[in-house]
Structure formats: structure tokens, C-alpha cells
Chain A
Amino acid sequence: GAGVSQSPSNKVTEKGKDVELRCDPISGHTALYWYRQRLGQGLEFLIYFQGNSAPDKSGLPSDRFSAERTGESVSTLTIQRTQQEDSAVYLCASSLERGRGNEQFFGPGTRLTVL
């Protein structure tokens, strides 16, 4: 595809359940980012992958959050034992490389609702 894709587009889950969100970056983009966007708020950085380097997990809010990426392809963000405060839109972005001056291309996001 031409852009970043994410699935599912919407996810409703019950408190305490685990969820897995998927991101397919633009082919050839080495850098991949996950952000969280609460209603009416800006984007919060969660985690970043660059090639085969160790991911930058500095933005993950708790140990219930984890993410994986296989090479320079698909990434999954997993939230364990979901809480109501996890309700948000989770956005994935990719870019040619990390650092200054590199445009990040965003996917449409996954809207997560925890009941």
C-alpha cells in the first residue's frame, strides 16, 4: 500500500482483557513510532523502533504496554490487563530514519475503548 495502515480501526474491550494492535509501515521505512492520543489531546510518544537497534521504550506508561517489530516490517503494540484510562486512539507512524528532519507518516489509528 501507499501509506501506513493500522488494524483494527476500532477495538472495544472489557477492562482486564489484553489487546493487540497492528501497524504496517510504509515499505522501506526503517523507523517506526507508536503514539497515544487521548480525546482532545496531543500525541504522546510511546515507543520507537529503528532498524535492528534496541527500541526506545521511554514513553511507555507502564509495564502493561509492550511492542514488537520484526525487522523493518510489521509492528504490534500489546496492552495487557487493559484499564479504562487506556481508552484512546493509538497512532503508528513511520519514517525513512529517526532523527531531525525526517517526516513521519501517520496511519489512521486504532480507536481503543475499554469498558
Chain B
Amino acid sequence: GESVGLHLPTLSVQEGDNSIINCAYSNSASDYFIWYKQESGKGPQFIIDIRSNMDKRQGQRVTVLLNKTVKHLSLQIAATQPGDSAVYFCAENMGAGTALIFGKGTTLSVSS
């Protein structure tokens, strides 16, 4: 079975709102986490990553938060735009030499 999952399969927001996409992981040995964005008909695109020795990392309009105590990962998108509409996947890696494990994804829909 999958060790990475997402709380909500879909999320609908208005343009300009902040979006929060959540992910729960089950393996406490996981030490590297990534968020990917996948638009229709395209391959996943890397958004941001975080290592287990950090609890927050910021990028351009995106922030990833990691709570190792409850094994929870979130992606925050500021000022969400229609172009952010896509499926978002979290993935975990349990150390060097292991495969990335992906969750099922959350579909983000942004309306104008």
C-alpha cells in the first residue's frame, strides 16, 4: 500500500486566495519530501522540497511545512492564480538508494 496520502482529493479556491494542500505520511524513517505539480497531459513538475532536518522552506509564492511529530506535510500557495490549477502530489524518500513514493494527489481548481 501507499505510505503517503493526501487529506483531500479536491480543493477549490478563488483567485487571490491562499491555498493549503495537506499530506500525511506514515513512515517515520522518511527524510526527504517533495511537492510536484502536474497539469493535464504533462509530466509532474518539481515545486519545492524539504529535508527532515527542517520544518519550513519557502520558495516563490510557495511554502512547505513539515511536522515530523504528526508526520504531516503541507504546501501553501500564496495569492493563488488560475495557472496554479493542477494536481499536486507529495512524495517521500526514505533515504539514499530508495524510490520516491507518491501520494494520490489533490486537484486544485482556481476560479477567477
Contacts and interface: CB of A to CB of B under 8 A. Distances in A.
Interface of A: 4, 33, 35, 40-45, 48, 56, 58-59, 91, 93, 98-101, 103-109
B97 A99 contact: yes
B44 A100 contact: no
B99 A107 contact: no
Contacts of B16: none
B43 A93 contact: yes
B2 A42 contact: yes
Interface in B78-112: 89, 91, 93, 95-97, 99-105
Given A4-B43, A108-B41, A108-B43, A42 B96 contact: no
Given A41-B104, A42-B105, A100 B51 contact: yes
B99 A108 contact: no
Contacts of A104: 46, 100
A43 B96 contact: no
Contact of A101 (B51, B102, B105): B51
Given A42-B102, A43-B102, A99 B45 contact: no
10 contacts: A4-B43, A33-B99, A41-B104, A43-B89, A43-B91, A45-B99, A59-B99, A91-B43, A103-B46, A109-B43
Nearest to A101: B32
B58 to A, nearest CB: 17
A33 B101 CA distance: 12
A77 B103 CA distance: 23
Contact of B89 (A42, A58, A105): A42
B45 to A, nearest CB: 7
Contacts of A48: 99
